[in-house]
Structures are given as C-alpha cells and as structure tokens.
Amino acid sequence: MPQTSFRQPSVLPGFGLTFGFTTFFLSAIVLIPLAALVLMAASMQWSEFLRVVLSARALGSYRLSFGASLLAASINLVFGFIIAWTLVRYEFPGRKVIDALIDMPFALPTAVSGIALTTVFAQNGLLGHYLSLLGIQVAYTWIGVTIALTLIGMPFMVRTLQPAISEVQRELEDAAETLGAGRLYVFRRIILPTVLPAMLTGFTLAFARAVGEYGSVIFIAGNLPMKTEITPLLIVIHLQEFDYHGAAALGFVMLVISFAVLLTINVLHGWGRRHLVATAH
Amino acid sequence: MSITLDQVTKRYQGSPVVNDVSLDIGDGEFFVLLGPSGSGKSTLLRAVAGLTGVDHGRIALHGRDVTHLAARRRGVGLVFQNYALFRHMSVADNIEFALRVRRMRAGARRARRKELLRLVALEGMDDRLPAQLSGGQQQRVAVARALAHKPEVLLLDEPFGALDAKIREELRRTIRQVQRELGITTVLVTHDQEEAFALADRIGVMNYGRLLEMGRPDDLYARPATRFVATFLGAANLLLARQTHRGICFGSDPVLTRGGDGAQSAREHEVVAVLRPEEIELGASRDSLRSVYMAHGSVEEILFSGALERMRVRLGDGITDAHVMRADNGADSAYLEVTRTQHEQRVFPLSPGQEVAIGVRRLHVLPTPLSSFTACGADAADAQAIGRQPFLTELAARMKTRVATRIEPALGNLDGDGGDGAEFGGAAVISAARAAAHGGAAQCAAWLMRRGAEEVFVLPEEIPAPRRVLIHWVDETARRATLAVSASLLRHLSAEAVYIGILPDDGAVDAQRPLGVRALLDARSEAQAMHGLEMRTELRFGDVAAELARRLGESPDQLLILGISDIDELTRFAPLFAVPGRALLIVYQPAGAASRRP
C-alpha cells in the first residue's frame, strides 16, 4: 500500500514535526548568524572590502591559518591512524587510560592547552630547551602554531578512525595472507581502501577545527603581524578597534575559503570511493 | 601424506588449547575435524594454515616442514565462516587476488577465473560486488578464491555456519563435488555431526584441545572408544553395566553374552555401555520382543519428528537410576532415549504412560577403565564430603558418570577385616586430610586395594584445575593399566601428559642415559598406539619417590598417576603423600592377574 511508505515508524514524532524543528534550529544558530555576517560584509564599499581582505597583513594571516591547518590535519592523518590502530587492535595495560586521554583536547579549555604548550616549547621549556639547542625554535613561530592545531585536531581524527578500523575484520587480513599477500600489499589493497572514507572525514573535521581555532594558538603564536598572526586573531584585532566591517569582511573570506576546501574534500571523497571500487586490485 | 601433524601444542595463557595433536591426512582425503566450540579445532586449522604459531610440535605439508613458514608461503587455501570477502572488490577481483599477488598475466588470470566460477556454479557473476550476492553465493566465491592459486590443501573453517539449512545442503554438495573433481586434500572444521557424516572420508573428534578419536564415520558411530565421542556423534544412552562371566548385565540377566575381550576376566567389574536410541526395541511384553530383554519401563514422553518418533522411557524393574549415566540430563535421569521408525510405530503404537518391555538389539561397551567414582569414608559425613569435592564433581560431570558413596567404618584399620566385600564401582576416592585420622592416605589406599579397589584417587580438599598430569609406573607390570587409566582421565582434562622416567643415580648417569631415553620412547609410542594418548617425556635420576615428590612439588596445578603392582610398595611413596595439596591417582595392577582394563 502506497500510504504506508509515508508513515515510517519511529520513536520520535512524525516527519513534519522533526523536519520543522531541524529547519528552525539550523536557521536560528547557523544560517541567520552567517547571513548577518554576509550582510555586514556586503554593506561595505567594494574598494574598502578589497583593501581590508587583500592587505599584506591579511594575506599573511590566511597563509598561516590555512597552511598550518592543512599541515596539522595531514600530520594527524598519519599519527592519528597509528594511534587509532594501536587502540583498536592491541590489548595492553593502560589502554583504557590512553583511550580516555584522546578526548582531553576536547574537554580542556583551549587557552589552557595553549599556555601549557607554550610553557613546554618555550626556549627555556621542557622540550623547547633541547629543540633550541638543535636550532629549532617552536614557540612564537609557525611550527608552534602547527603543533597547537595538531593537538586540537587529533581527537577528531582518532575518534573517526576507530570505528572504521574495527570494521576491518582480522579475517580479511588472514584471508589475504593465505592467498599469498605480504604485509604491505595487505595494507595497500585491503586495509587502506576500507578506512579511506573515514580518514578523509577525519581529515575534514580536523582541518575545519584547526581553521577556526583561536584560544590555544594565540599563546604560542607570538602574534607578529605577517609572520605568526592567524586570521581569527586579525578579526579580533579589527573588533577591538571597533572596525566591525573589516572584521566581517575577513570573516566572510574565511567562510568562503573554508567552504571551498571542505567541498573539495567531499568531492574527492566521492570520487575516491568510486575510483577505488572500480580499480582496486 | 598430505598433512602431517606431530605433537602439535598451542597454549593460550599457559593452558593448552591444542594439546599434543598428532595426525596424518592422506592425499585427496576429506578430513573433518569435529568438536564442540572451544575444543581447539579452529585453532588447529589456523595452525595448519600458518595464521597461528604453535608452541610445540611439527607441521608438515606434503613432506615439507612448514612449522615456521609464513602463511603466505604455505600454499593453502582457507575459507572462513563469515566468507571474509574483500567487500570493495568485485567477484572477479576477489577470485583473482591470489593470482595478482603472484603477478600472473591478465589473460591467464581471466581463464583461471572463468574455470573457477564454472566449478562453483557462478558463471557470469564476475562483476558483482559481494554485497550484491546471497550468503550461499558469497561462500561459493570464497571457495573459488581459496582455490585460485591451486593450493595443495584446502582448509574450511565452519564454512556453512552462517547459512540456512537448505542452502547449506546445496553448498555441501558443491564442496564435496569440487573436492572430488580436483582431488584436493581437504580439512573441514565443524561442530555439526550431521555435516561431518555427510562429507568426511574420516572424522577426527576433538575435545579439550585433544584429538580423542579418529576413524571412518560409520566406525566411529558404531564403535566409539570414549564417552565423549559416543554422545557427541549422535544420541546415545550411556549406562553403567556389570561385566560378568556370563556377559554384560544390567539386572540379573545378561543382555549381551559376548562382551568383548574383557569377557573372559574372572572378576566381575563395572563397564560403560553405549545404547543407541535406535537400537532399543519396545514391545508389549518380554515374550513379544525379538531382541534381548533388558528391563521394563513406562513411556514418559513422545515427540514426533518427521520420519522418526522420539521418546523417553522411564526405567523400572531392577534397573535403577544408578545405571543411567547421562548426568547432563539433570538429577532425575532414569530415562532412556528411544527412537522408532514409522514402521515400528505402526506395528506397536504407543502413548505416554504405557508400560513396555525394553529390548536391546545392539550394545557397545566402551573400553574405558574409569567407569565411575566411589567416594569412600569412615562414616557417612566423610564419604559425602569427599563426594562433594569440587574437582571430583566437575570430573564426574565431564565424564557423564556418577559419584557413589561408600562407608567403610574400618577404613585404614590394619587389624580389622572390615569392608562389606562388595565390588568397587570404578575408582575409589579418599580424602587426603580425612585419611590422616585413619593411618594416613597411603595406608588407606593400601587398605582399599587389598579389598578390591583397582584405582584409588587421593584428593585434597581443594585443588586448582590440573594443567599437567605426571605419569609414572613403578614396574612394567603396571604399565598397561597405568596408561589406560591415564588416557581415560586425560580425555576429560585440559592438561598435558608428562611421563616421568627415573633411573637410579649411581654415578654412571651418562652411561645410563641412552637406555633411559629408549625406555621413554617405548612408553611414548605405546601410549600413542594403544591408547591414543600423546605424552611428553622426562628423564630423571635418583630415588623414585624423592624425584616424583620433587617434580610434583614444583607447581600446584599438577596431578600424579602412579602405577604399582605390589601394594606394599606404597609405604615407599610416603614422600608423595606428604606433598600438600596435590591429587594422586594410584593404579594397582598385580602381576599375573587378568586385567579388566582394555
């Protein structure tokens, strides 16, 4: 009977109510504020807009914000995979503790992690001292920014990968091994294709989080214009000077770039899935 | 031989999951490893495939030792219960996986794939994804994939477990057909005896990590050697019977007049009889039976199950519940399970409550020396306490046997004659602690043996589950009996068997060593050939009692089986009884006496 397909049994009340609520909620907390931002930016003079968003200081901040975020997400792609793999595949004493520690960057106020990182990586800090002996300065450089963003993005990567890795049945590896495949072959042809979608999702989340990060970075960045100044900080500086339009313009640019990057990753995601299925062997 | 396993042992956290398994599988043979879950059969299969390492022993494929070879170099095909297909690959890519790994050219790959798809009747399915196939089809793909690289051995790990009955049957036929067509040596693991019967050239039954018995399906069914095989392969009523000079008796009259080779034994003793439900005849009266009358009974319950009628018959008339051993049926177990064909039903229709005469068409006597246990104490409280010892009750439950109690007021009393003179049913059991009040365990054991007990189990109040059973016999007279009892006991324990050979330490140790080693090897091969018991061996030098006591004292999870032929010898073994918290099983086999043990 055709009617039955409209009435899918569910714990929550019907489709009409839930859809209405979804639209309202999204509008109130996402769409309307974003629209306000776009409107504010749109009310500027074109030349004024370009002057703000293309200033050397702004361009420098984009480079740092997006560059460091991509780098941090890439680092997480590798190390997050190793951490998730270890937690899923091995039983060892303290596994539960380490598993709980993964969530710490979620819970910690970002300013706290920022201050902690600065203390450790400053020239007289626990690790910074030895690194500076090697000639590597972490705090108050782009390296410090990247480390802070890696820390912030790590739980997104690990938590997204864990369920995907536990989906890779051990039997699949066993089967491949009895068929004659070596370890590297098994990893490339069996494990990677299975966890790749989750890796891309984790990468996206970690990247998005890093772009928006403010609290932990400003302590370790040093905030030198053109060098270690991230875009969110530049926005705050504009706000402190009561330059609301300038802040909105920069915010608009971040919105556009972020959206473009996320869209690209999603397209890659879909393409990769089709491509892998079609040619995997 | 295609597959040769030699004393393969795999331990998990110290306890053996595969325990000293030795096995030869011939070229082109279809061998089925049958056992309940947790019996170690899958672990053994994985060890053959190379996915699990072994802690001890040797694995050879076609004469080539592969014990330490990686799975990918062993040239086996493995099929898993959950198919383990690569979900992101098409059927074609799945099947060609092993060929691509071996860098076979595309044309040759395609030809091989077509051939395999024809073999498993999946032509034209090349481009499907596993998710687009039914469970049965997925498993066919898995079989084709496992055969792609022309392995010498095909291993199947519960391949039909996840399929429903009809598809299971169909796939079973396909696999048998493929196996015949290719003539490939195949090992299949299952817990389903019906499947084993349908497929196997030979079946090996595993329990507690040990390979209990091996043989052709019909042989194993008709003449099992162990309780476990008797009850696991089809339904069986296990009964305690008496072997007398007239034959096998339940009540006063013999049911079976030729009672195997033990029938000539002068002494009466208890045996375990297997009575298959279909070998029981029911009749209106004793005279209407065409088979040998066993007892009267009343029909308790009737279940109709298609071709057969299954019923439970409550025993009466001289045969009490003490004879029925199926302890897993619960406490009230004086029932026989009976099945009747449609024909039998029409000739003699039955309804619940009806009185019937029970006849036996065929009876099989198990060659096991440990039929049951009798807890012996000086008073009722003692005997009952011993009967409740946790290890003993667990062992009795695993052996599906009973623990009787027996009161011997004069236990251990050297002056009194005592004892009611009745036969001992199975092994006598005494408590180490309670025996102290009666002259000590050694004296009590000797006392019981003088009154007819052939095995005496000395148990402490509580012991951990034994992981190692030490075996020693004082002289060669006791060897056969000791090995028979050891084999019977070890079938029900997840423990390894170690034979301890001891030579006197008279300063010429090196000269004696070859002699001692030869004796060990003799003992080992006899255990293997005569009793199907795999054991490790150790050679020691020194005083027998002191060395055994030292070895036994090394760890608490050990049990010692000691064979003697002279009761007075027991006084020599006082140091053994002094090791606290250890279980001892003393096997007594006097020289010259006919043994009731197989």
What's the pLDDT tens digit per position in A4-33? 445 556 666 677 888 888 889 888 888 888
Tokens of A250: 């920069």
- pLDDT(B36) > 90: yes
Residue at token pair 């305690």: B240
User: Is residue B189 exposed (0-12), middle (13-18) or buried (19+ Cβ within 10 Å)?
Assistant: buried
Bridge-based pairing state of the strands B496-503 and B536-541: parallel
Residue contact A193–B51, C-beta within 8 A: no
Per-residue pLDDT at B96 = 94
Residue contact B72–A174, C-beta within 8 A: no
Helix or strand (DSSP H, E) at A79? helix A56-89
Per-residue pLDDT at B494 = 84
For the segment B289-302, the average pLDDT, to the nearest whole number, is 87
- pLDDT(A178) > 90: yes
User: Considering CB atoms only, which of B77, B96, B102 is closest to A178?
Assistant: B77
Per-residue pLDDT at B324 = 57
Q: Which residues in A lie closer than 8 A to residue B129 (C-beta atoms)?
A: 277
Residue contact B74–A178, C-beta within 8 A: yes
B96 part of contact set with chain A, CB < 8 Å: yes
User: Considering CB atoms only, which of A180, A185, A190 is closest to B86?
Assistant: A190
Per-residue pLDDT at A281 = 40
Per-residue pLDDT at A1 = 40
**Rounded Cα distance, A176 and A168, in Å:** 12
Nearest 5°: the CA angle B63, B65, B70 is 130
The angle, 0 to 180 degrees and rounded to 10, between the axes of the packed helices A231-240 and A56-89 is: 130
The DSSP string of B251-279 is SSSEEES---GGGG-SS-EEEEEEE-GGG
Mean pLDDT of chain B: 86
**Rounded Cα distance, B5 and A280, in Å:** 38
User: Considering CB atoms only, which of B71, B88, B101 is closest to A185?
Assistant: B101
For the segment A142-164, the average pLDDT, to the nearest whole number, is 92
User: Considering CB atoms only, which of B51, B71, B88 is closest to A280?
Assistant: B88
Residue contact B88–A179, C-beta within 8 A: no
What pLDDT, in 10s, does the model give residues B429-444? 998 888 888 888 888 8
B131 part of contact set with chain A, CB < 8 Å: no
What pLDDT, in 10s, does the model give residues B306-327? 888 999 988 875 555 455 554 4
Helix or strand (DSSP H, E) at B283? strand B280-283
Per-residue pLDDT at B243 = 80
Q: Which of A98, A101, A102, A97 is nearest to A76 (CA)?
A: A102
**Rounded Cα distance, B522 and B37, in Å:** 34
**Which of B40-54, B357-371, B488-502 is predicted most confidently?**
B40-54
Tokens of B420: 């009611």
Per-residue pLDDT at B535 = 87
Q: Which of B31, B368, B21 is nearest to B216 (CA)?
A: B31
Q: Which of B465, B535, B490 is nearest to B207 (CA)?
A: B490
- Range with the lowest mean pLDDT among A6-10, B16-20, B214-218, B259-263? B259-263
Per-residue pLDDT at B596 = 54
For the segment B122-130, the average pLDDT, to the nearest whole number, is 91
Between the two ends of chain A, the Cα-to-Cα distance in Å is: 44
Per-residue pLDDT at A206 = 92
- pLDDT(B563) > 90: yes
The domains of chain B, with CATH numbers, are 3-230 (3.40.50.300), 233-366 (2.40.50.100), 373-588 (3.40.50.12370)
Per-residue pLDDT at B417 = 58
User: Chain B closest CA to A233's CA: distance in Å?
Assistant: 45
**Rounded Cα distance, A149 and A213, in Å:** 7
Which residues between 41 and 60 in chain B have a beta carbon less than 8 angstroms from any beta carbon of chain A? 46, 49-51
CB B171 within 8 Å of CB B136: yes
pTM: 0.79
What pLDDT, in 10s, does the model give residues B441-452? 888 888 888 888
Per-residue pLDDT at B76 = 93
User: Chain B closest CA to A270's CA: distance in Å?
Assistant: 14
Q: Which residues in B lie closer than 8 A to residue A172 (C-beta atoms)?
A: 84, 86
Query: A172 versus B424: which is more confidently predicted?
Result: A172
**Rounded Cα distance, B172 and A102, in Å:** 48
The angle, 0 to 180 degrees and rounded to 10, between the axes of the packed helices A56-89 and A142-167 is: 40
- pLDDT(B507) > 80: no
Which residues is B337 bridged to in the sheet?
B312
Query: A127 versus A8: which is more confidently predicted?
Result: A127
B16 part of contact set with chain A, CB < 8 Å: no
Helix or strand (DSSP H, E) at B298? strand B292-305
Tokens of B194: 């019906």
Residue of B nearest to A172 (CA): B84
Per-residue pLDDT at A135 = 84
**3-state SS string for B27-59:** CCCEEEEECCCCCCHHHHHHHHHCCCCCCEEEE
**Rounded Cα distance, B457 and B374, in Å:** 10
Per-residue pLDDT at B439 = 82
Hey, is B153 helix, strand or coil? strand
Q: Which residues in A lie closer than 8 A to residue B46 (C-beta atoms)?
A: 174
B253 φ, ψ (degrees, to nearest 5): -100, 145
B82 part of contact set with chain A, CB < 8 Å: yes
Per-residue pLDDT at B570 = 86
Per-residue pLDDT at B594 = 57
User: Is residue B257 exposed (0-12), middle (13-18) or buried (19+ Cβ within 10 Å)?
Assistant: exposed
User: Is residue A12 exposed (0-12), middle (13-18) or buried (19+ Cβ within 10 Å)?
Assistant: exposed
- pLDDT(B95) > 90: yes
Confidence at A226, pLDDT banded by 50, 70, 90:
confident
**Rounded Cα distance, B589 and B265, in Å:** 14
Confidence at A219, pLDDT banded by 50, 70, 90:
confident
Residue contact A178–B51, C-beta within 8 A: yes
Bridge-based pairing state of the strands B455-459 and B468-473: unpaired
* CB neighbour list of residue A248: distance below 8 Å, 6 or more residues apart: A37, A40, A41, A44
Residue of B nearest to A173 (CA): B84
Which of B61, B100, B127 would you mutate first to test chain A, the one with the most A CBs within 10 A? B100
A172 part of contact set with chain B, CB < 8 Å: yes
**Rounded Cα distance, B162 and B411, in Å:** 58
User: Chain B closest CA to A171's CA: distance in Å?
Assistant: 6
Confidence at B252, pLDDT banded by 50, 70, 90:
low
What pLDDT, in 10s, does the model give residues B530-545? 888 888 899 988 889 9
For the segment B1-22, the average pLDDT, to the nearest whole number, is 88
CB A57 within 8 Å of CB A234: yes
Per-residue pLDDT at B415 = 65
Q: Which of B541, B536, B542 is nearest to B523 (CA)?
A: B536
Query: B190 versus B244: which is more confidently predicted?
Result: B190
**Rounded Cα distance, B331 and B336, in Å:** 14
**Rounded Cα distance, B407 and B421, in Å:** 12
Per-residue pLDDT at A276 = 56
Report how far apart, in Å, the C-alpha atoms of B435 and of each of A161, B407, B464, B583 are. 64, 13, 21, 13
What pLDDT, in 10s, does the model give residues A67-123? 999 999 999 999 999 999 999 988 889 899 999 999 888 888 888 988 888 889 888
The DSSP string of B213-256 is EEE-HHHHHHS-SSHHHHHHSS--EEEEEEEETTEEESSSSEEE
- pLDDT(B255) > 80: no
- Range with the lowest mean pLDDT among B259-263, B530-534, B583-587? B259-263
B152 part of contact set with chain A, CB < 8 Å: no
Residue contact A178–B80, C-beta within 8 A: no
A175 part of contact set with chain B, CB < 8 Å: yes
Q: Tell me the one-letter amino acid at B29.
A: E
The angle, 0 to 180 degrees and rounded to 10, between the axes of the packed helices B135-147 and B106-119 is: 130
With a pLDDT cut of 90, the percent of chain B lying above it is 37
**Rounded Cα distance, A134 and A129, in Å:** 9
Total beta-carbon pairs less than 8 A apart between chain A and chain B: 75
Query: B161 versus B278: which is more confidently predicted?
Result: B278
The domains of chain A, with CATH numbers, are 47-279 (1.10.3720.10)
What is the interface pTM, i.e. ipTM, of the complex? 0.75
Q: Tell me the one-letter amino acid at B204.
A: G
